[in-house]
């Protein structure tokens, strides 16, 4: 396992078996919009990871119970476009292969925010993909109890 400190910006790949099963898709658009506004206000219109302003995404943070295969919604945070794309670098990588340089920019962003080397990035990416492949073999039970009062 990696021995370095916890990364501020890490790569989170949602198992392919639970793609689409998220709060955003389960809420009425109006409810999601309201929730998004609350999250943005909570973080003072800044990215929760790097502190940058500008366009912000509401990002669902999941906790994975690899024994019981329960995927629990832990938190919703703001992310700037760069941090958001970096978190989902698997998907970004596919898009970047058409565009050329943007994948490199995400790696640079990761290294800057985490103040780490390229080697740390490569190791982290590899382990994120390993976890993703492993987790994609299972059907996940989605636990939204933290946000239960939002669901109608
Ligand atoms: Zn950011």
If you measure from the C-alpha of residue 23 to the centroid of ligand 1, how many angstroms do you get, rounded to a whole number? 21
Please, which pLDDT band fits residue 104 given cuts at 50, 70 and 90? confident
If you measure from the C-alpha of residue 74 to the centroid of ligand 1, how many angstroms do you get, rounded to a whole number? 19
Distance of CA 125 to the CA centre of its chain: 13
- Closest to 140 measured CA to CA, from 21, 11, 10, 12: 21
If you measure from the C-alpha of residue 39 to the centroid of ligand 1, how many angstroms do you get, rounded to a whole number? 14
Q: What is the pLDDT of residue 1?
A: 46
Per-residue burial over 62-82, b if 16 or more Cβ lie within 10 Å, else e, is bebeeeebebbbeebbbbbeb
Summarize pLDDT for 37-88 with one digit per residue, the tens.
Answer: 999 999 999 999 999 999 999 999 999 999 999 999 999 999 999 999 899 8
Query: What are the boundaries of each domain within the chain?
Result: 16-146
> Crossing angle, helix 89-99 and helix 118-135, to 10 degrees?
120
Q: Which residues make beta-bridge pairs with 56?
A: 80
Q: Model pTM greater than 0.95?
A: no
If you measure from the C-alpha of residue 83 to the centroid of ligand 1, how many angstroms do you get, rounded to a whole number? 4
Q: What is the pLDDT of residue 152?
A: 55
C-alpha span between 1 and 39 (Å, rounded)? 33
> Does residue 132 carry a pLDDT above 90?
yes
Q: What is the pLDDT of residue 29?
A: 87
Q: What is the pLDDT of residue 92?
A: 57
């Amino acid at each position: 396992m990696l021995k370095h400190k916890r990364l501020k910006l890490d790569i989170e790949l949602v198992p392919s078996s639970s793609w689409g099963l998220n709060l955003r898709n389960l809420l009425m658009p109006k409810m999601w919009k309201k929730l998004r506004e609350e999250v943005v206000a909570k973080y003072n219109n800044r990215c929760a990871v790097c502190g940058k302003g500008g366009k912000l995404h509401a990002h669902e943070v999941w906790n994975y119970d690899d024994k019981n295969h329960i995927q629990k919604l832990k938190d919703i945070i703001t992310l700037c476009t760069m941090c958001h794309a970096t978190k989902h670098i698997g998907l970004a990588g596919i898009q970047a292969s058409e565009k050329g340089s943007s994948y490199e920019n995400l790696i640079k962003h990761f290294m800057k925010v985490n103040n780490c080397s390229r080697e740390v990035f490569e190791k982290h990416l590899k382990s994120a993909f390993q976890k993703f492949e492993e987790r994609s073999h299972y059907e996940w039970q989605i636990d939204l109890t933290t946000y239960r009062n939002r669901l109608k």
